Amino acid sequence: MARIYPLFSGSSGNAEFIGTPAGGILIDCGVSARRITLALERCGIPAAAVQGIFVTHDHVDHVAGLRVFAKKYQIPVYAQPVTRQCLYDAKYLEPEQISYALESTVECGGIRVTPFATSHDTAQSCGYRMELPDGRSCAVCTDLGYVSDTVAAALKG
């Protein structure tokens, strides 16, 4: 059964793993690659189980460890188009790293992930709604300026 593992939260860094020890996704990567790896290991999850990293926005407390962690484990990165470009411009991703401009639902690690717009003081921010393999769903949204109708709809159910 898939679970949510809140690894880090707050202005010093954010990251959540959603999945099982066999595989899943990471929402944000806001601390060092080493700290992410150790936090996953404490939960019994090998870093290699991360099959995709979904970025909510480009602030450092959400992407500090992104470049190193994604590169070390060859993990694809998903972000909204403007955020994705900001990640390259700020060197949080290198040109050869695999990344996708996420504008609609994708499946990663057996989880269907749908982005939804959120309000925050960045060029483009989003939350993610996940449909888990067992039929349950959950959503992650961070740093909300306010709860819009879009956010409220994504959080229902």
Walk me through the domains of the chain, giving residue ranges and CATH numbers.
Answer: 3-155 (3.60.15.10)
Burial-class residue 30 by CB neighbours within 10 Å (0-12, 13-18, 19+).
buried
Is the pLDDT score of 146 beyond 90?
Answer: no
φ, ψ at 63 (rounded to 5°): -135, 10
pLDDT digits (tens, 9 = 90+) for 24-80: 999 999 999 999 999 999 999 999 999 999 999 999 999 999 999 999 999 999 999
In the numeric block, the tokens 């989003």 are attached to 126
Separation of alpha carbons 18 and 61, rounded Å: 19
For residue 72, the 8-state DSSP code is H
Q: pTM, whole model, 2 decimals?
A: 0.94
The residue type of 41 is: E
For residue 84, which of 100, 98, 69 has the smallest C-alpha distance?
Answer: 100
Separation of alpha carbons 19 and 109, rounded Å: 8
Mean pLDDT of the chain: 93
Separation of alpha carbons 60 and 22, rounded Å: 28
